[in-house]
Homo-oligomer: A and B are copies of this chain.
Amino acid sequence: MSQPDPHTHTSESTTAQILRIFDSIGLRSTRQRRIIAARLAALAMTGADFSAQELWHELLHDDPRLGRATVYRAVDVLLSEGFLDRISFADGTHRYRACGAAHHHHMTCVRCQRVIEIDACLPPALFAAIATDADFAIEGHSLELFGRCAECRQAEAPDASANV
């Protein structure tokens, strides 16, 4: 309850967590937000990423009358509350991912677009040096890595083993 084990999160408890976020900033518990929370909880389990548009289309199966703006509004709230992460892709587009609040970064496979989380971060000394040098108060940062996952490297090596 008050001490959810991150490794035993059920879809239901994640749903409740999202609804608690809405509640904590004075937003009402509506049927639409419950539907959205349930779907996001499922996405949080799988770690899948999604665009706001895609999320809306999926939710239309649950409720064909669900408004697009309603979904966008909920995503905005959950993004600013830190429940959702925005992932920027190299082509300038961006998608969302339910990652909880812990600070981390993402690495994207440029071939299959799979996204994995990285818990490593930049050394604080680097930030300190930059901040001092430029006289900036650093408030946040975004680090995205791009590369090829093991599977895609295999799949792309037709005459393999001679390659690097």
Contacts and interface: CB of A to CB of B under 8 A. Distances in A.
A129 B121 CA distance: 12
B134 A116 contact: yes
Interface in A116-164: 116, 118, 120, 122-123, 126-127, 129-131, 134-150, 153
A19 B147 CA distance: 31
Contacts of A153: 137
Given A88-B88, A92-B86, A118-B130, A145 B141 contact: yes
A149 B135 CA distance: 6
Interface of A: 86, 88, 90, 92, 94, 107, 109-110, 116, 118, 120, 122-123, 126-127, 129-131, 134-150, 153
